[in-house]
Chain A
């Protein structure tokens, strides 16, 4: 019997606290000689992050007016979301989100209208349009991680040249499904990148109460594959780490766990009041590390960031959001009867009867 594939690299990995990879410091100073992305690409990334930031702000405001359901903004974490999505090829790779990654999902092809519908509580927000390679947002923490493993493994078995990127938070690493998904991924050497956005808070529970391990990245050692730790508010670091992990996966070298060290700049969801548990000084410290600010500072140093560019991006994003929101509001709400048709490929006799009864009552 041949050795299981996962055992190959295991012995070479040593349990240690991985260093924090940083390419751009909070002042926007490049820590390496050559930037990994062109100025044009950086502006495009910043636009994607800004779109998500303004989307979140608008949705929170709409939620306060009763027009949206409970939602979890990704404010402060846009570099993790967009930087990792940039390393994917949307024509063949898959994005498997938790629920705080609208930024990355929009980058990977989620229509903005659908993002609004999701926050409006419409089931249409969970659809995967034909030809798109992402799964719907996942409310059960870590519940999607075994799917990412299976999807990556299955695509490889089917002969596809695809990589799967799965997002989750540090809270998810306490779940059994995190362990089972990473363990199996290591054993079958699935082409999957596990991206943990360590934003310090799982609602009100800080990292120290989630795990006694000094880092999330080092958990990868136990699964027999590399764990990388990056400054999660540094778009360049996130992009480089994910790009390399995607290349490894595509080359058949198996999974990677990436820990993006970031911070939730705001509420867990619109139903949360962070002032009950969050030290103000901690928030203030992280506000200066805002990933959007950092990119602006970088572009400023490069002489690219101008008032004109800033207002052009804001205008473009506002117009895009206005148009999508108007379109989302015009989408007729689906009927409950229609949902009964989507439980099975074909309705059971009882579902048919229930559907008829609903029609009569309606």
Chain B
């Protein structure tokens, strides 16, 4: 199995899907001749040309809205929004139009659009380029939200997302694009949407994370192991729909839960995960103490000088694990 970075795995998935299905069309800002600002679409333009790899005007709402129309024409658009901070320029088109079209047409229309966008901080990007806004979209009915943490999952989930009959927001860990490496199964290997993954096995405490935070949680788990605490890390992979089964298997085993995300705490996806655990009788009665969350402060994502302090460190997660286990 080849070893790839996240961005290489994504590129491989795009090449694979474009070769497999001639309805797949890639569009976005700088995705063509430059191969994408992160090179995620590198080589596609040379292979498929302007008809299938389209450098779009700087127009996020237009890119999403046009993708809806392309899908209605029978194409399978994979749109890139260069940074998640700019998805909100197309927020109406994503939430009210794209995600709603099957429902509002009473099932008579559908728009299988995949929106790829990098998110999260830690790469000293300019202001408004590092936001983790996944909660804004997880709350949107009709939209699937996926956030892989490994190259293997990035490739396998992207294939599933492109083939899904409904719109998928595909969140890519900006920090992990080149830093996270791993073995990748190539060819026809798909990771299903809506299924979480046990990233680290353990028995004393469950840490729930996704995307770049999975590495942070795994580092905390390794540190906890040195203190004799066995931590299980659940990588959600799909934020919508949420995999309650995998959560239940872990939580009923450990009885202790810490949820980690980089985004601001209030109204974040951790709140939904915790509510899901709380309202499930099996999980709730297996808890031995309060559920904790380790999240970003309720501030906008800061500019570069404050970034290192803002980001979740393994030490912060470890402290929460200790508190959960000792409660």
Judge whether A220 is part of the interface by a CB distance below 8 angstroms: no
Q: Is the interface of A mostly helix, strand, loop or mixed?
A: helix
In the complex, what residue of chain A is closest to B52 when comparing beta carbons? A157
Taking CB as reference atom, which chain B residue is nearest A5?
Answer: B50
Q: Contact flags (1/0) for A172-204 with B, using CB distance below 8 Å? A: 000011001101100110000000000000000
- Scoring B56, B71, B75, B102 by chain A CB atoms within 10 A of each residue's CB, the highest score goes to B75
In the bound assembly, the distance between CA atoms of A145 and B68 in angstroms comes to: 11
B contact residues around A153 at 8 Å (CB): 66, 69-70, 73
Q: How far, in angstroms, from A223 to B153 measured CA to CA in the complex?
A: 42
Is B269 interfacial (CB-CB < 8 Å)? no
Tell me if A150 and B142 are in contact (CB < 8 A).
Answer: no
- B61 contacts A342, C-beta separation under 8 Å: no
Whether a CB of chain B sits under 8 angstroms from the CB of A316 is: no
Check: A309 CB closer than 8 A to any chain B CB: no
Assuming the contacts A126-B105, A158-B73, A158-B74, asked whether A348 and B62 have C-beta atoms less than 8 A apart, the reply is: no
Question: In the complex the two chains form, is A146's CB within 8 Å of B93's CB?
Answer: yes
Assess whether B96 is interfacial by the CB under 8 Å rule. yes
**A327-352 contacts to B (CB < 8 Å):** 334, 339, 341-346, 348-350
For A342, the chain B residues whose CB sits under 8 A away are 102-103, 106-107
Q: In the complex, are the beta carbons of B59 and A345 less than 8 A apart?
A: no
B22 to A: closest C-beta gap in Å: 10
CA distance A94 to B293 in the complex (A): 50
Report the bound CA distance from A152 to B107 in whole Å.
Answer: 22
Min CB gap B257→A, angstroms: 19
Given A126-B104, A151-B73, A152-B69: A146 and B62 interface contact (C-beta under 8 Å): yes
CA distance A63 to B211 in the complex (A): 51
Inter-chain CA distance A158–B75, complex, in Å, is: 8
**How long is the Cα–Cα vector from A350 to B74 in the complex, in angstroms?**
29
| B308 within 8 Å of A (CB atoms) | no
**A200-218 contact mask (Cβ, 8 Å, vs B): 1 or 0:** 0000000000000000000
Q: Does B51 contact A (CB under 8 A)?
A: yes
A-B contact pairs, 6 of them (CB 8 A): A147-B65, A148-B69, A149-B62, A150-B72, A177-B65, A181-B66
Residues of A within 8 A of B (CB): 1, 123-124, 126-130, 135-136, 140, 143-155, 157-158, 160, 176-177, 180-181, 183-184, 187-188, 334, 339, 341-346, 348-350
